[in-house]
A = this chain, B = another copy of it.
Amino acid sequence: MELNSASKEQLAQWEQDLAAEYQAIKAKQLNLDLTRGKPSSEQLSLSDAMDGILNGDYKTADGTDTRNYGGLDGIAEIQAIGAEILTAPVENVLAGGNSSLTLMHQAMSVAYFFGLNGADSAWSKESTVKFLCPVPGYDRHFAVCEHLGIEMVTVPMTANGPDMDVVEKLVAEDHAIKGMWCVPKYSNPTGVVYSDETVQRIAALGKVAAANFRVFWDNAYGVHDLSAEPVALASIFDACKAAGTEDSVLQFASTSKITFAGAGVAFMAASSANLAGFKKSLGFMTIGPDKINQLRHAKFFAAPGSLKAHMEKHAAIIKPRFASVLSHLEEAFGNNDLGQWESADGGYFISFDTRPGLAKEVVKLAGEAGVKLTPAGATFPYGNDPQDANIRIAPTVPTVAQVDEAMKVFVTCVKLASVRQALAA
């Protein structure tokens, strides 16, 4: 389908064929869902052995009774796992509750209201507070900024991460910019892994940025590889150390997509100064995290190599779903300009760009044909995709057969919307 060179008659014919195809799909009354970036039951079952794993022994190696109060940093055994996931020194890792989103909201609230480096460093002391948001990105990140009234400035994503020329210029020129959201590996939703150069340039931002500038480095998919030989993400911690900017980055991760989505363990890695500043406020918010759940996780991943082996089991489940999405896209749009996408080697999403102005229409068409997609715009701050092009495809929850069925519908909807747009032009 070459829309640009097609005649009106050809377009009309395509429209008629596709509309008929679409009606046939509608008649099937499908009920499929590609919206949720969450693990499937099959994936969750990989960790079922965690319940009962303690065998009545609630003590850590150092004798801490995990049943009782205390311990803001989490138990040593789980800090070590966090250090492995975040490639950061164990003494710079804090292990929290079940949600990295909570840790990120807490950290941003502390930075905003209380200051990570004393009250004078609180962002709220300044009249305008801005945050860089690479787009497309993760809606819940943007929502945290929105909740706190932080103005979001979008930056385009490239195949190597955020467009660093744009980022560097903005950060150096405008000290109202207090940080940037990053999902550095298998970025949500583009699946991009930040290049070594991008990691280094982000680490260097602390040299030109505002003093209280903090990158929120959400390494949510750090060990979520699909390929047997995954691209390695450079260590931002090491890069910051080399650049002398340790205080400019806060790292986050969790086991939500490793063990249990709702009952995992969240981690934060940061410089000693940042951890101290954060814990000063955290101590008002909690007496400590659920150390029993941390101990369960530590026992579950006690054997060397067990985390990697576990993630390979996830990959085996997810891979055919990703393969189905990609093969449908390739087949339908590989040799035309109706859509663009990145071929992700991990994470939970495939990001698809329609021709400008069609994302909402495609999501609507698919919805009416029984295939739920994430609302168009969700990957942009305030739900506003200025190009109305980006759609996030989340194929982990449905079965492979369902993904296949849903993608047939998706492809038809993209084609139909594109042809209609061309006809109307």
Using Cβ atoms and an 8 Å threshold, which residues of chain B touch A53?
51
Number of identical protomers: 2
- The complex places the Cα of A293 from the Cα of B106 at a distance, in Å, of 22
A99 in contact with B281 (CB, 8 Å):
no
Residues of B near A106 (CB, < 8 A) are: 285
Contact of A66 among B263, B281, B284, B288 (CB under 8 A): B263
Binds B, one of A15-23, A130-138, A209-217, A254-262: A254-262
A287 to B105, CA, bound (A): 11
Partner of A281, one of B54, B65, B69, B147: B147
Most chain B beta-carbon neighbours within 10 Å: one of A44, A113, A287, A291: A287
The 8 Å CB contact of A293, one of B56, B67, B293, is B293
> Are the CB atoms of B41 and A65 closer together than 8 Å?
yes
Q: Determine whether the beta carbon of B69 is less than 8 Å from that of A285.
A: no
Q: Which residue on B lies nearest to A260, using beta carbons?
A: B67
A71 and B262 alpha carbons, distance in the complex (Å): 9
CB nearest neighbor in B for A264: B290
Interface flag for A102 (CB, 8 Å):
yes
Closest to A292 in B: B263
Known: A99-B288, A105-B286, A109-B109. 5 other contacts (CB 8 A): A44-B67, A52-B52, A52-B54, A67-B263, A263-B290
CB pair B281 A102 closer than 8 Å = no
CA A141 to CA B69, docked complex, whole Å: 16
Verify if A323 is at the interface (C-beta below 8 Å from B).
no
Within A60-92, the residues touching B (CB, 8 Å) are 65-71
Whether a CB of chain B sits under 8 angstroms from the CB of A184 is no
Asked if A262 and B281 make an inter-chain contact with CB atoms under 8 angstroms apart, the answer reads no
A262 touching B147 by the CB < 8 A rule? no
